[in-house]
Chain A
Amino acid sequence: MRYLPLNDADRTAMLAAIGAAKIDDLFEDVPADSLNATFDLPDHLGEMEVERALGAMAAKNRAAGEGPFFIGCGAYAHHVPATVDHIIQRSEFLTSYTPYQPEIAQGTLQYLFEFQTQVAALTGMDVANASMYDGSTGCAEAALMARRVTKRKKVILSGALHPQYAAVTRTNLELHNDNVIQAPINTGAAEDLASMIDDETSCVIVQNPDVFGNIRDLTPIAEAAHAKGALLVAVVTETVSLGAIKSPGEMGADIVVGEGQSIGNGLNYGGPYVGLFATRQKYIRQMPGRLCGETTDAEGKRGFVLTLSTREQHIRRDKATSNICTNSGLCTLAFTVHMTLLGEAGLRRLAMLNHDIAGKAADALGAVTGVEIVNKSYFNEFTLRLPKNASAVVDTLAKEGVLAGVPGGRLWPDDPAAENLLIVAATERVTEGDIETFALKLREAL
């Protein structure tokens, strides 16, 4: 077996040194009738055979790069520079552990510090943590944090929050019998959430751009929340948008959670991704997750350590702010490397390029007879109202090689109001030819 360095001679010698007659003597505490169970599983394979078998499975999937591709809704097909993938595969990053021994983990700690600085700048907030699992779990953690800060038990979810984010948040808060109020589905960006906020409300959770792609001015809802002592949690599922539109921090958000996949990370069928989590300075001791901080070593040199650990489970146990331990270290590195390559100039350009391409797609698709563009504003994603069930149209177009977007029925299977909606994203990977093909096939399918 190519991964196991011991041979039989080693094993015999080692058993002798230990004073055991055979390997199963070391398993003496296991109930005898359960030791050496039998399994309906195959024996080991060579590298080539494994690669062949998994390659065959991969070949049954349709990758984003295989043709016209317009799916978004929380995961975006962006180009990842080759440098990113090289760096994250370096042994020293790939095969290291959580930096609990900071003297020999400064590489990890320094990039975490850079990551936190980047995320704080992007979101317009004072501080960011070293990542959550993904945007959706970060969203639930934000609601739990708002609950700790305000000591209130009512959460209001916007009707244009990604429904899977809403579901994750609900699942976590229902454990505490909290009151989770879901505003009705709203495609227009003009929902009245302010009137739903009362003195019991811990937070309002609003996505921007929202799940339909609308760009929202969060300032009025931030003011309304603050007037009642509640927090505004802003959710950003497309991080590239922060290069084009005002940050949630500038619009008054108290906690910003985001999905960082767009920067440096592939689609990976939904994971692993990287959750962004940022807030105001005054709330840092209520934050979940790891934080990296600056300090000095015994010679006075600058160095970095994990800090404020008294919030965390390994120190605080049942009093911790969250049970999270392992987070998204390597995805965080991918984000940091890509963001370093982009810089502010590159990010702004990438963002506006996405906006350009989405504009071209919206113009072409909006010109198809019977199709209505729902949005007044958008970044790189917008919503079409079709004259018929969008799920059927998506299936038809998939057979034609066009992955057309996310039909409303996929995200809101129980809501007829969503049936004819098609949410379409267009990133820098989309070509004008892709847009032409999509418009042509859509016209045929309607």
Chain B
Amino acid sequence: MSMNTQGRPTRADGAALSDTPTFTGNKALQIEEALSFEIGDVARTGVDLAEPTGGAHRLGGLHRDSDIGLPGLTEPETMRHFVRLSQKNFAIDMGPFPLGSCTMKHNPRLNEKVARLPGFGDLHPLAPQSAVQGALELIDRLAFWLKELTGMPAVAMSPKAGAHGELCGMMAIKSALDARGEGSKRTRVLAPESAHGTNPATAVQCGFTVEPIPADSTGRVDLGALKEKLSDDIAGIMVTNPNTCGLFERDIRAIADAVHEAGGYFYCDGANFNAIAGKVRPGDLGIDAMHINLHKTFSTPHGGGGPGSGPTVLSDALAPFAPVPYVVHENGVFHLVETRRAAKAETSGADSMGRLTAFHGQMGMFVRALAYMMSHGVDGVRQAAEDAVLNANYVLARLKTEMTPAFDGFCMHEALFDDRFLEGTGVETIDFAKAMIDEGYHPMTMYFPLVVHGAMLIEPTESESKRELDLFCNALLSLAKRAKAGEVEPFKAAPIYAPRRRLDETAAARNPVLKWRPEAQAAE
């Protein structure tokens, strides 16, 4: 009462429930926001710049005379526009974000701070090498951590994201096969049906054909079926470990041996390396290449869909074909090997696969990842993996009373459920996921992996406390009970309290509207 300076204490009992729409369409803190194109105009600007005086006479007669069509906003308008937009997003800083296979863990702000030091953030990629020794040292140091944690002899740092790292690894395999004179003969790649979509897409982008490896009844690679598919035209296999069912491939060494015996290579998708980092070195298991998503395992922010970073570790057999550029350390000085010719001299004659990107990779992500690693230390990296696995198993144990785990036994860092517990309720996986939104949670990964009906893949990560996990499990158990009790409607209507109700994705694809157009044009 003392807080009410108007002298009129508010009372809760007068607030009759009402769903009368507001005049503005706003709902208190949820404020509708138009597109910047509908707010601003082309004369308005939020920057103060000096008046240009020189004219356009050196533009070769190609001055842009036509209207561009870019409205501007002043600084306060810009700030308000984007802050309002931000408030329509869910984020890991707001609550559990248990997207399986995506690894939404805490993003330390120290990492943001150090990445913005001028010596990193304001550093040009083509500055003379004498002016970038600290950057090369950082890349070299991060490479050391990655090689040590994976037990692999080499790492390509330039891949820009996980899928780019897959491309790097598969290109290294192609290069190695070419060097053996078997490039045109070995064209088949095998990948489990549970694989991320990037695996088959990458294999095809490399010019391979791709075939599925069947899973066994425990959710793992069927070793017998795999062996039957191996022959002298096999280039390699792509296997995620721990796999996308959240399970460790317990036959991994036998898988590696079989592929090597057939003359192929083993690409390991490292998207789930966070489950075993600091516990197990993939290099001890017989792999030839593996990308590491710095934006998953080492917590560089996902940023609404990137940027990522996908350094790729390589075995002795594949290392000579690594992409340029890379850092070499000699007599206390770091230098860059930037061309195929220079790499050839460096590797006594092997042909580098070439260049995957301009410049040197995602340096801004390297700084953040190294800050994460140094902060955790190897003891903290190991503890993080253990806690991630513990949290997932705790969720599995608590939820299995009402929900149906896809497979028996413990899981690794993520718990996979199918939709058997919803059978006959009329509620489907998507309805269950959308109902989680109303309860204040980001849904788990749904309908992936494809090998499980109505899949729900929950990855809590090590960043959740036991209290958060208990609240989360209580909410899911309550939803499961309500679905089984026949309360279908709230599920079908969900989400009710989000900034938007369910969106019509079919209409969006049928008649794609991919940019804003002035009303007159849009009506045409």
Contacts and interface: CB of A to CB of B under 8 A. Distances in A.
A5 B117 contact: no
Nearest to B376: A44
A117 B516 contact: yes
Interface stretch (A194-202, A222-230, A240-248): A240-248
A329 B306 CA distance: 5
B197 A315 contact: yes
A341 B380 contact: no
Interface in B221-280: 247-250, 252-253, 276, 278-280
B350 interface: no
A324 interface: yes
B207 A175 contact: yes
Contact of A5 (B67, B339, B464): B464
A93 B207 contact: no
Given A61-B119, A303-B503, A413-B339, A344 B71 contact: yes
A107 B356 contact: no
Given A104-B437, A329-B306, A410 B465 contact: no
Contacts of A215: 59-60, 62
Nearest to B166: A323
Contacts of A318: 200-201, 203-204, 210
Interface in B383-412: 383-384, 386-387, 389-391, 393-394, 396-398, 410, 412
B58 A377 contact: yes
A387 interface: no
B428 interface: no
A346 B201 contact: no
A230 B279 CA distance: 53
B160 A137 contact: yes
Task: Select the residue from A144, A162, A313 with max chain B CB neighbours within 10 A.
Answer: A313
Contacts of A206: none
A160 interface: no
A202 to B, nearest CB: 16
A154 interface: no
Interface stretch (B9-17, B476-484, B504-512): B504-512
Contact of B306 (A315, A328, A377): A328
Nearest to A38: B378
Interface in A428-443: 428
A121 interface: yes
Contacts of B118: 58, 63-66
Contacts of B374: 42, 45, 49-50, 53-54
B108 to A, nearest CB: 6
Nearest to A394: B128
A330 B301 CA distance: 9
B498 to A, nearest CB: 4
Nearest to B522: A294
B79 to A, nearest CB: 6
A23 B306 contact: no
Interface in B75-92: 75, 78-79, 81-83, 85-92
A296 B510 CA distance: 13
Interface in A319-348: 319-320, 322-333, 337, 339-348
Given A106-B85, A267-B122, A330-B306, A54 B90 contact: no
Task: Select the residue from A99, A328, A362, A399 with max chain B CB neighbours within 10 A.
Answer: A328
Interface in B141-185: 141, 145, 148-149, 151, 160-164, 166-167, 171, 174
Contact of A55 (B62, B89, B117, B161): B117
Given A23-B386, A42-B378, A81 B69 contact: no
Contacts of B69: 121, 344
Contact of A325 (B46, B161, B468): B161
A47 B378 CA distance: 16
Contact of B60 (A144, A217, A243, A340): A217
B305 interface: yes
A104 B90 contact: yes
Interface string B356-387: 11111111110100110011111110011011
B431 interface: no
Contact of B285 (A34, A122, A356): A34
B524 interface: no
B303 A329 contact: yes
Given A41-B377, A104-B90, A301 B509 contact: no
Interface in B297-342: 301-309, 323, 338-339, 341-342
A73 B113 CA distance: 27
A17 B394 contact: yes
A246 to B, nearest CB: 5
A44 B508 contact: no
A270 B161 contact: no
Interface string A402-416: 010010001001100
B26 interface: no
Nearest to B73: A340
A317 B247 CA distance: 22
A171 B85 contact: no
A268 to B, nearest CB: 4
A100 B210 CA distance: 27
Contacts of B120: 58, 61, 268-269
A332 B90 CA distance: 18
B209 to A, nearest CB: 8
Contacts of B89: 92-93, 96, 104-108
A359 B72 CA distance: 27
B91 A243 contact: no
B124 A6 contact: no
Contacts of B215: none
A347 B360 CA distance: 29
B499 A106 contact: yes
Interface in B25-72: 25, 33, 35-37, 40-47, 49-54, 56, 58-72
B466 A10 contact: yes
A35 B49 CA distance: 60
B99 interface: yes
B128 A44 contact: no
Interface in A296-313: 296-299, 301, 303-305, 307-310, 312-313
A96 B295 CA distance: 12
Contacts of A312: 197
Nearest to B281: A37
Contact of A352 (B54, B93, B501, B509): B54
B514 A96 contact: no
B86 A92 contact: yes
B82 A87 contact: yes
A323 to B, nearest CB: 4
A203 interface: no
Contacts of A326: 161-163, 295, 302, 305-308
B347 interface: no
B304 A97 contact: yes
Given A117-B516, A353-B50, A377-B59, A270 B148 contact: no
B432 to A, nearest CB: 13
Contacts of B520: none
Contacts of B56: 244, 352, 355
Nearest to B410: A26
Interface string B190-214: 0000001110111111110010000
Contact of B354 (A117, A167, A327): A167
Contacts of A250: 64, 66
B123 A63 contact: yes
The 3 closest A-B CB pairs, nearest first, are: A343-B72, A270-B359, A58-B119
30 contacts: A4-B380, A4-B384, A26-B410, A31-B253, A47-B110, A61-B135, A69-B124, A71-B127, A83-B75, A94-B112, A95-B302, A97-B304, A104-B499, A106-B500, A127-B515, A134-B358, A214-B60, A267-B123, A268-B121, A268-B363, A270-B125, A271-B361, A301-B25, A303-B503, A309-B509, A323-B202, A340-B36, A340-B81, A343-B43, A377-B59
Given A295-B503, A316-B197, 7 more contacts: A64-B123, A91-B92, A95-B104, A99-B305, A105-B90, A133-B357, A344-B68
